[in-house]
Amino acid sequence: SSLETGTQIRVSAGCDKQVSTCRAKFANELNFQGFPHMPGTDFVLSYPTRNTGENDGGVLVS
């Protein structure tokens, strides 16, 4: 389908709710109201396993 001549459309900048997009695309990191350091569901639903070397109490890397 195509637009007819004279059809009005509204275009707005999209937001994917990422702090990096807020910083780079909109230069508005200061007003970002999300939780950029919240672990994802894959981390929340995981559980520790013994002797893997991954559970050392260090910084999480995403």
- Could you state, in order of their start, the residue ranges of all structural domains in the chain? 15-47
SS3 24: helix
Q: Which two tokens stand for residue 3?
A: 């637009």
pLDDT confidence band for 56 (50 / 70 / 90): confident
Name the amino acid, one letter, at 12: S
* Alpha-carbon distance values, 10 to 7, 13, 32, 60 (Å): 10, 10, 24, 41
* 1 pLDDT more than 70: no
pTM of the model: 0.40
The per-residue pLDDT for range 9-45, each reduced to its tens digit, is 888 777 788 888 888 888 888 888 888 777 777 777 7
SS3 41: helix
Q: Can you read off the two tokens belonging to residue 61?
A: 């890397």
